[in-house]
Amino acid sequence: MIEATDIDTSYGGIQVLWDLSFSVSEEEGVVAIVGPNGAGKSTLLRVLSGIQPIDDGELTLWGEDIESLQPSDVVDMGFVHVSEERNLFNEMTVEENLEMGAYKRRENMESNMQEVYDLFPILEERSSQKAGSLSGGEQQMLAIGRGLMAEPKILALDEPSEGLAPQITDRMFEKIEAISEDVTILLIEQHVNKALSLAETAYLLENGEFVAQDTGQGLLESQHIEDAYL
């Protein structure tokens, strides 16, 4: 469970997140954070991962204060962040990349890998291929698969449809919905309609502040979304 109260953060003295309060529990399916470019969505995920420090406020993950945690502790506790950059090991094979995701979960590695392959069969076909030679969609599947290998309780996905063709994007959203049956997904997306349609809870972030919170469907139908995006 993630609980944030009035958190602020800044880059080089320029504040980018203001007084954010929210919680995400592993009982939830999809929690979406949407907002225009530069709103601070990726920064928020970096804060939750323990990569970006907070200036003020309180942030706990499963009751532990983020200030006492290293980014690797955050992963061990169950919060796994698949960043926009994907950060694959391009010279390593698909299978080796998946193994890297399991570095602290060796005991279930084989069965977890099979689950990833069942979810994304193309990865099994490409298991001996170098990650750097995969298509954009396959690389995104691998990045998500590697995240799943760490057995997350909450999996944060930063723009999983970034750079994907429309048809592949639709399939990616189907996969995200399937994953969310077992793992809570914290989803950041530019495809606002698709993200909010999936989300039980959703937040609209603008200029580093939450300006609306509702069910996904409620936010989708709200004036806030119309004002922010039209």
Considering only 11, 107, 166, 223, the residue that binds ligand ATP (CB under 6 A) is 11
With CB under 6 A as the contact rule, which of the stretches 36-44, 96-104, 121-129, 167-175 interacts with ligand ATP? Answer: 36-44
Pick between residue 16 and residue 92 the one whose CB is nearest to ligand ATP. 16
Copy the structure tokens of residue 194: 């698709």
Please choose, out of 20-28, 38-46, 57-65, 131-139, the segment that lies near ligand ATP by the rule CB under 6 A: 38-46
From CA 95, how far away is CA 99, in angstroms rounded?
A: 6
Q: Does 39 bind ligand ATP (CB under 6 A)?
A: yes
* Cβ neighbours around 108 below 10 Å, total: 12
- Does 160 help bind ligand ATP (rule: CB under 6 A)? no
* 8 A C-beta contact, residue 129 and residue 95: no
The least CB distance from residue 202 to ligand ATP, in Å, is 15
Cβ–Cβ under 8 Å, residues 33 and 192? no
Give the C-alpha separation, 14 to 52, whole Å: 13
Q: Which is nearer to ligand ATP, 15 or 70 (CB)?
A: 15
State in angstroms the smallest separation of the CB of 42 from ligand ATP.
3
Residue 53: CB atoms within 10 A of its CB come to 11
Among 1, 3, 8, 16, binds ligand ATP (CB under 6 A): 16
Question: Cα 12–15–16 angle (5° rounding)?
Answer: 110
Check binding of 40 to ligand ATP (CB under 6 A).
yes
- Of 31 and 113, CB closest to ligand ATP: 31
d(CA 194, CA 173): 7
Question: CB-based burial of residue 230 (10 Å sphere; 0-12 exposed, 13-18 middle, 19+ buried)?
Answer: exposed
Q: Which is nearer to ligand ATP, 10 or 197 (CB)?
A: 10
Q: Which is nearer to ligand ATP, 53 or 121 (CB)?
A: 53
37 binds ligand ATP (CB under 6 A): yes
Among 4, 20, 24, 35, binds ligand ATP (CB under 6 A): 35
| Helix, strand, coil abundance in the chain, percent, nearest 5 | 40, 25, 30
Is residue 111 a contact residue for ligand ATP (CB under 6 A)? Answer: no
Nearer to ligand ATP, 18 or 62 (CB): 18
Angle at 90 (CA atoms; ends 143, 174), nearest 5 degrees: 25
- Indicate whether 41 belongs to the interface with ligand ATP (CB under 6 A): yes
Binding site for ligand ATP (CB under 6 A): 11, 16, 35, 37-43
